[in-house]
Amino acid sequence: MIGNIFSWTVTALFGVITLLLAFESWALLTNHTPISSYIRSSVHSYPGAAFVIAVVIGILLGHFLWGPAWG
């Protein structure tokens, strides 16, 4: 049961990432403001919060991608 919920959560996460990348590409091709411009200005305004968010994302990715090896 937990594995099924985790699988759907990961699938939804990758779906959202795909949609965000598609929007970024569309914005760059049609001369609209891309998401990266908003993120860049936020990082310049709040560097401490951006650092904490980057560390938390790195810890979560490291936990799930490089967990303990069995076998």
Residue 42 lies in a domain: yes
Give one word for 20, left, alpha or beta, with left for phi > 0 and alpha for psi -120 to 50: alpha
Let me know if residue 20 belongs to a domain. Answer: yes
pTM, to two decimals: 0.66
Could you report the per-residue pLDDT of 9-56, keeping only the tens digit for each? 989 999 999 999 999 999 999 999 999 999 999 999 999 999 999 999
How far is residue 14's CA from residue 8's CA, in Å, rounded to a whole number?
A: 10
Q: What is the pLDDT of residues 51-67, one digit of tens each?
A: 999 999 999 888 878 86
Structural domain that includes position 26: 1-66
Q: What are phi and psi of 68, to 5 degrees?
A: -65, 140
Residue 71 located in a structural domain:
no
Q: Please say if the pLDDT value at position 3 is more than 90.
A: no
Higher pLDDT, 25 or 3: 25
pLDDT of residue 67: 67
